[in-house]
Structure 1
Amino acid sequence: MKRNFLFAILLVLFSCHQTFATSIVKKVAPTFWWAGMKNPELQVLLYGDNISSAEVSISSKEITLQEVVKLENPNYLLLYLDLSEATPQNFSITLKEGKKSTEIPYELKERKSKASEVEGFNSGDVLYLIMPDRFANGDSSNDIIPGMLEARVDRNDPYARHGGDLKGIENHLDYIAELGATSIWLNPVQENDMKGGSYHGYAITDYYQIDRRFGSNEGFCNLVTKAHDKGLKVVMDMIFNHCGDENYLFKDMPSKDWFNFKGNYVQTTFKTATPSDPYTSEEAKKTVVDGWFTQCMPDFNQRNRHVAVYLIQSSIWWIEYAGINGIRQDTHPYADFDMMSNWCKAVTNEYPDFNIVGETWIGSNVLVSYWQKDSKVSAPKNSNLRTVMDFPLMDQMNSAFDEETTDWNGGLCRLYDYLAQDIVYADPMNLLTFLDNHDTSRFYRSDEATKNLDRYKQALTFLLTTRGIPQIYYGTEILMVGDKANGDGLLRCDFPGGWKGDTINCFNATDRTPQQNEAFSFLQKLLQWRKGNEVIAKGKLKHFTPHKGIYVYERKYGNKSVVVFMNGNNREQTIDLANYKEILPASSAYSVLTDENVKLGEKLTLQSRGIWVFSF
C-alpha cells in the first residue's frame, strides 16, 4: 500500500512536469519596454497554462526582480521589475519547474530622442473626430480576418463592420490637413474581437494590439508618423473603465477581484452626478462606479493595484511606441477617481506636455468642473485631468441657433449666460467644445437640406472663436446627418467616397453638391484662419450682454484682437457701435469671412442671422 502511494505521488509530480514542459506562454504584456523611463518599475504580465508554480529568474544583472505575484488563477504570473540601473538590452525571463524550463525573450528598447517631449493638443488645435470603420477603406484585404468572431462586412447594416481602416485614414490625411484641422481623434483602434458590434471599438479585447481589421501595430505607428509629417497631431481613444467580455483577462480571470462584483454582471445606473454628490449613499456610488456599462463590458476593479498598473502601463506604452499626442478617455466618471487621478499624474510625469481629455457626459457645468485638474469644486481631491468635455455647452449650442434672441433670454443669450458661469472651471481654455460627436445626433439636420446654412455657419463661427479646444465630427464639412432617435449606427455613416465603387466621392469638390461645397468652403476658411492664430488659441474672452438680439464678444492677445458680431434673429438689425468702443481699437478692420477691409462708422448692420468676424 505504501509503495503504491509513493508511486501515485511520483505520477502526479511527473504529470506536473509534463504539463509545465508542454505549456505555452500565450501572452506577455507589455511585449517590450524601454530603458530610461522616469518611472523605473515595470509590471510584466505572463499568461499561459499552469505557469504560476514556476520559479522565475531573469538573465540581466542590471535588472532587479522585485516581486513575483501568483494570483488565484494558476495561468498567470505578474512580475515587477526595477529598471533604474538598466540600459537598453535583450534578456530572458526564465520559468523553471524541476528540470524543465521555458525562456521568454524580452527587450528593453532605447528611447527615441526627446521621447518625453511629446507635444499635446491644446486650445490652438482643432480635433477632427473619426470613427475608423466608417471613414474610408484603404485595404480591403483586412476586411475579414479568419478566426475573429465577427466575420462579416455589411455596409447596409448600420451595426455591422463596414471595412474602414487605418490605411483609409492615411490615404486622406491631405484632405484633413487641407480642410484645416490640426489633430485627428480616432475612436478606439485596439483589438475588439467581439461577436457583434465590434465596429465602434469600445469593448477592447487586447490592450496592446491594434485590431487587425484596421491594420497592425506597425501600421498605426506609420499613420501617426505620416500625420505628424503633415502637421497633424493624433489623439487615441482609450477605455479603462471596462473591456470586452471576450478579453482573455475576463474569460480566464487572473483573480476574482480583477473585475468589480467578482466578475458578475451588475448594471450601472448611469447617474454620473453620483460620484460628486455630497449626499450620495455608498450603495448608489458603488452601483454607478462599479456597475457594468453593459453585460458584455465587464467593469475593471481599478482599486486592485495590479489592474491599475496594467492599465496605466498600457497607455504609456502607446505614447512611447507610437508617439501619439493625446488620449481621449472614455466614460471617465464611471471609473475609480483615485486610480484615474494617479494615471493622469503618471502620464504627465513621463510626458509633461501630453494632454488627456476625459469624457464627462454630465448636463451641468458645475458637475463637469468637478473632474478638471485643480478644480475647487472637488478639492482637496484632484483629478489631475487637464481637459474635460463641455457637454453642457453642446446642449446650449444645439438650441441657441434655432431660437430667436431677445435681450433677456433664448437664442444667443443661452451662450452668454452659460459662458458667464465659467468661474466654476479651473481652466476654461482646456474644455473640449463640440457641436456633436459619435454618440449624439449630428448638428446638421436632414430637415435643413433645403434651407440656407445660417444656423450651420453661426454655430461653427462660435465654436471656432470662443474659448476651449474645438472638435469637429467627420462629415460635418459635407453636411452629413444622423438622428440618435434612429440608433447609434446611423450617427456613424460611411463617408461618401471612402470605398471603391462609391458613386459619390465627397473627398472631391466636383462630387459635392453646391450646398456641400458652400459648407466645406466656409468651414475651411475658418479653420485655416484659426490655425496658428494666437489670438484665438491664447486670447482672453470678453463679451457683452446681447442687445437687439446681437451677441458681441472679443478675443484679445497682446495688441491683437478678434471681435465677433452675431445676429440671433431672422431679421436685419442695425446697432450703435458706440456701445462697443472698448473693443474697437480702430476705425477699420479686416473681415475674416469676406476677405475685405471694412470701415467701421457709428452704426453696423447685420443681415438676418448675419455674422461679422473682425480682426484688428
Structure 2
Amino acid sequence: MRLLVTLCFALLFSTAASAREFAIDHLEPASWWVGMKHDRVELMVHGDGIAMLTPRLAHPGISIAGVEKTGNPNYLFVTLAIAPDAKPGGLEIEFLDGAKVALRHPWRLDAREAGSAQRHGFDATEAIYLLTPDRFANAEPGNDSVAGMVERANRADANGRHGGDIAGIRRHLDYIAGMGFTQLWPTPLLENNQPGYSYHGYAITDLYRTDPRFGSNEDYRALSREARRHGLGLIMDVVLNHVGDHHWWMADPPAPDWFNRTAGYAGTNNRRTTVQDPHAAPEDKALFVEGWFVKSMPDLNQRNPHLATYLIQNTLWWIEYAGLTGIREDTFGYADTAFLSAWGRAVMDEYPDFAMVGEEWSANPAIVAHWQRGKVNPDGHVPYMPSMMDFPLQIALRTALAQPEGWDSGWIGLYEMLANDFLYPDPGRLVVFAENHDSARMLAHLGGDVALWKLAMAYVATVRGTPQFYYGSEVLLQGPRERNDGELRADMPGGWGGDTGNAFTGKGLSPAQRDAQQYVRALFNWRKRSPAVQHGKLQHFAPADGVYVYFRYDGQDTVMVALNRNPGAVSLALDRFADFIPAGSRGHDALTGKPIVLDAALPLAGKSATIIEIAPREDRAHREVQARRSASGE
C-alpha cells in the first residue's frame, strides 16, 4: 500500500512538472554579428524557473560553448561561440526540459556593415553639439505619453517630460550641421520608466530599448544614418555605474551581488580622489565606488563577471547596431576600476579608431589625467579611454571670466590651468567646453553678459582639444544662475508648435539672439576650415593688462587669438609676439575676412575675442623665424 501511494505521488509530481509552461521574459542581447573580435557572446536568459532547462541550437557556425547558473533559478547565462564563417540570418534557440522542447526563442546573427571595425571616431577636427532630447524638439506629440510608461508629459513642470523626441532631432539635423557642428551627442535615449525625473535619461530601466517616448530602436538607428548624410556623427551617452530603481533587475536580481550596498541605501561620498590617494581610508574609497549615485539610481557591482560581460556587450551592441562614432561615458570614475579597464580595452580592441570620452567631474587635472589612455599611473591602473571631459579647464574658464582681473585672478587662472597639460598623455584629445547639461549656462554664470559669453565661446573653439557646445546657448538660453537642472535644460525655442521664437528659422528672435547665433555659426564653420586650430600646436603668453594671447600653428598656417576682457578698447603691443608676427606681416579677421594691419600695435575692442589668420610669408626673415621655431621643438 505504501509503495502504491509513493508511486502515485511520484506520478502526480512528474505530470505536474511536465505540464509546467515556461516563458522567456528577457533574452539579451537579441542579436550579434559575424566577424566580431568579441565572438563569444554571453546571453542573459531570464524567465520563471528557466534554470531548469537546457539550451540547444543548430545553426552553421554557432555552438553553445558554456552554460552557467546563479543562485537565482530564473536565470541562465548561455555562451555562444560564433565562427568567422557563421551564416548570417535568423535562428531559434531551443530550451529542453529533459528530452522535451519546452520552448523556442528567436535569435539573430547579422552581417557587419562594410568597414565597421575601422570606423573613425571624433577627434580635434570635430565639434560636438550636446542636446537634451526631451527639451530639443517635439515632432511627434502622439508619443509624449505612452501606455506602460509611468511618467506622463507635463510641459508646465520644469522637471517633467516635455515631449522632445528623436523625430524632432532628425527634423533639425540640417540646422545643427549648418551651425558648424560635426558630432551630435544626445543625453541618454534609452528607456527610463521612472515615476519622476525620467526626462534626463540617466536612470535607465532597459539597456537594450530606446524609450518609446523618444521613439524606437529603429528610430535611433535611422537618426544615426540620417545624421551621417548631414555630415554628423552620433555619440551615445553610456551609463555603466548605475541603473534606475525601476529597472526590472530590481524585482528579480540575477545574483545576490548584482548591486552594491543593497542592505540599506548608502549614497556615494563623491570623494573621487580616493581612487588614487595613497593615504585614503579603504572605507572611503569603497563608499565612493559602491555608494549609490542617488536613491533612485542603484549602484551596479561590475565585479560580478556576468554583469561585467553584460555591460561590455551592451556597449559593443549599440556601437554596431546604431553605427555610432563615439561614446560619452557618464560618472566614469564611480565604477569599478578594473572593470573600466576591461570595458575600455574591449571597445578599443573591437574598434581601434573609435572615440570615447569619460566624465570625471574634478577641477584637479591629475585626477582627470589618471583615466586617459597612455597614462602611467603609480597605482598600476591601465586606462583605455582616448579622451576625457576637460572639467579642470571648464571650471578655470568659468572662474576666470567671473573674477575681477588681477595679478592672481582672472585670466591667469586659466593660463596656469592650461599649463597642466604636461599631466595628460594626450591633451589634444580632451573635450573642452564652457557648459553642459549639469552646469548653469555660461550666460547665467556671467550675469547675462553676452560679450563675456562670446569670449568663452571663442576660447572653447580655438584652444586645443575637441570643442563641445550645449544646445540653445546660440540663441542665448540663460536659465538660473544657481544650478537648477529642469530650468537650465530649457526647451529649444521653435521646437514646439506655438513657440513665439524659433531658433531653427530665426523667426521671432531678438536682434541679440540673432547676433549670438550668427557668431556661433561663423565661429564653428570657420573652425571646420582651420587645420591650425584643429591639429596645430599651441603657444600662449602670460596674460597682461586683461588680455590673454595665444597662437595655434602647424608649420603652414598661423592663427592668433587675443582675448580682451577689459570693458574698454585697448591697444596691444605686438613686439612680444615677433616669433609669430614678423615685421611686415599681414592678416585678416578669421570670422569676417576683414584685412588687419599687424604693425606695432593691434587695437582690441572691449570684451572681445580677436581671431586673426596670419598670412604666410615667404621672405627670408619669415623663413628664419620658422627655422628657429622648428629648432626649438615648437
Q: TM-score range by the shorter chain?
A: over 0.9
CA contact (8 A) 1:484 1:490 kept: no
The residue number in structure 1 matching 2:617 is none
Q: CA deviation at 1:225?
A: 0.6
The amino acid across from 2:530 in the alignment is N
* Distance change in 2, residues 1:556/1:263 (3 Å): farther
* Distance change in 2, residues 1:175/1:61 (3 Å): closer
CA contact (8 A) 2:454 2:608 kept: no
CA contact (8 A) 2:60 2:87 kept: no
Q: Deviations over 1:361-390 (max 9, x none)?
A: 112111111111112345632111111111
The amino acid across from 2:464 in the alignment is R
Q: CA deviation at 1:536?
A: 1.1
Q: Which residue, 525, 528, 536 being the options, matches 1:528? A: 525
Query: Take 2:445 and 2:32, find their aligned partners in 1: how far apart are those partners?
Result: 49
1:287-366 equivalences in 2 (<5 Å) = 287-366=287-366
* Distance change in 2, residues 1:219/1:263 (3 Å): farther
CA contact (8 A) 2:398 2:445 kept: no
Q: CA deviation at 1:352?
A: 1.1
The residue number in structure 1 matching 2:190 is 190
SS at match of 1:483: coil
Query: Take 1:512 and 1:518, find their aligned partners in 2: how far apart are those partners?
Result: 10
The residue number in structure 2 matching 1:579 is 576
Q: CA deviation at 1:559?
A: 1.6
The residue number in structure 2 matching 1:142 is 143
The residue number in structure 2 matching 1:229 is 229
Q: CA deviation at 1:603?
A: 1.4
Query: Take 1:492 and 1:569, find their aligned partners in 2: how far apart are those partners?
Result: 31
The amino acid across from 1:564 in the alignment is V
The residue number in structure 1 matching 2:113 is 112
CA contact (8 A) 2:224 2:234 kept: yes
CA contact (8 A) 2:389 2:431 kept: yes
Q: CA deviation at 1:572?
A: 2.6
1:63-102 equivalences in 2 (<5 Å) = 63-85=62-84, 86-98=86-98, 99-102=100-103
CA contact (8 A) 1:440 1:484 kept: no
The residue number in structure 1 matching 2:629 is none
Q: CA deviation at 1:409?
A: 2.4
SS at match of 1:246: coil
* Distance change in 2, residues 1:441/1:96 (3 Å): same
CA contact (8 A) 2:446 2:453 kept: no
Query: Take 1:81 and 1:32, find their aligned partners in 2: how far apart are those partners?
Result: 11
Query: Take 1:264 and 1:558, find their aligned partners in 2: how far apart are those partners?
Result: 60
1:10-409 equivalences in 2 (<5 Å) = 10-19=11-20, 22-85=21-84, 86-98=86-98, 99-150=100-151, 152-262=152-262, 264-377=264-377, 380-406=380-406, 408-409=407-408
CA contact (8 A) 1:371 1:378 kept: no
The reply to whether residue 518 of structure 1 matches residue 515 of structure 2 is yes
SS at match of 1:273: helix
The residue number in structure 2 matching 1:411 is 410
Q: Deviations over 1:231-264 (max 9, x none)?
A: 0111110101011122122221111011113575
Q: CA deviation at 1:448?
A: 4.4
Moved more, 277-286 or 264-273: 264-273
* Distance change in 2, residues 1:379/1:124 (3 Å): farther
Q: CA deviation at 1:447?
A: 7.5
Moved more, 543-552 or 131-140: 543-552
Query: Take 1:421 and 1:574, find their aligned partners in 2: how far apart are those partners?
Result: 30
Q: Deviations over 1:78-131 (max 9, x none)?
A: 101111342323332111113342112221111111111222111111111111
Moved more, 384-393 or 483-492: 483-492
Q: Deviations over 1:390-420 (max 9, x none)?
A: 11211111121233434x3222112211111
Q: Deviations over 1:469-492 (max 9, x none)?
A: 111111110110123636211111
Query: Take 1:517 and 1:378, find their aligned partners in 2: how far apart are those partners?
Result: 51
Query: Take 2:481 and 2:110, find their aligned partners in 1: how far apart are those partners?
Result: 46
Query: Take 1:165 and 1:187, find their aligned partners in 2: how far apart are those partners?
Result: 12
TM-score (norm 2): 0.93
The residue number in structure 1 matching 2:612 is 614
The amino acid across from 1:218 in the alignment is E
Query: Take 1:303 and 1:43, find their aligned partners in 2: how far apart are those partners?
Result: 16
The residue number in structure 2 matching 1:472 is 469
* Distance change in 2, residues 1:65/1:499 (3 Å): same
CA contact (8 A) 1:263 1:298 kept: no
* Distance change in 2, residues 1:538/1:379 (3 Å): farther
CA contact (8 A) 2:560 2:611 kept: yes
The reply to whether residue 461 of structure 1 matches residue 462 of structure 2 is no
Q: CA deviation at 1:504?
A: 2.3
Q: Deviations over 1:498-556 (max 9, x none)?
A: 11122322222231100011111111111000014221111100011122222111111
SS at match of 1:153: coil
CA contact (8 A) 1:548 1:573 kept: no
The residue number in structure 2 matching 1:588 is 586
Q: How many residues are paired up?
A: 610
SS at match of 1:523: helix
CA contact (8 A) 1:539 1:556 kept: yes
The residue number in structure 2 matching 1:492 is 489
* Distance change in 2, residues 1:576/1:505 (3 Å): closer
The amino acid across from 2:563 in the alignment is M
In structure 2, runs of 5+ residues without a counterpart are 615-634
The amino acid across from 2:598 in the alignment is L
Query: Take 1:123 and 1:414, find their aligned partners in 2: how far apart are those partners?
Result: 24
CA contact (8 A) 2:402 2:445 kept: no
Q: CA deviation at 1:11?
A: 2.4
SS at match of 1:583: coil
The residue number in structure 2 matching 1:597 is 595
Q: CA deviation at 1:226?
A: 0.7
Query: Take 2:460 and 2:266, find their aligned partners in 1: how far apart are those partners?
Result: 39
* Distance change in 2, residues 1:594/1:270 (3 Å): same
The amino acid across from 2:543 in the alignment is P
Query: Take 1:383 and 1:3, find their aligned partners in 2: how far apart are those partners?
Result: 68
TM-score (norm 1): 0.96
Query: Take 2:18 and 2:497, find their aligned partners in 1: how far apart are those partners?
Result: 55
CA contact (8 A) 1:338 1:383 kept: no
Q: CA deviation at 1:595?
A: 1.8
Moved more, 188-197 or 576-585: 576-585
The reply to whether residue 509 of structure 1 matches residue 506 of structure 2 is yes
Query: Take 2:17 and 2:71, find their aligned partners in 1: how far apart are those partners?
Result: 18
Q: Deviations over 1:198-222 (max 9, x none)?
A: 1011111111110000000111111
The amino acid across from 1:561 in the alignment is T
CA contact (8 A) 2:526 2:591 kept: no
SS at match of 1:79: strand
* Distance change in 2, residues 1:487/1:549 (3 Å): closer
SS at match of 2:142: helix
The amino acid across from 2:182 in the alignment is T
Query: Take 2:11 and 2:202, find their aligned partners in 1: how far apart are those partners?
Result: 49
Q: CA deviation at 1:15?
A: 2.2
Cα-Cα RMSD:
1.6
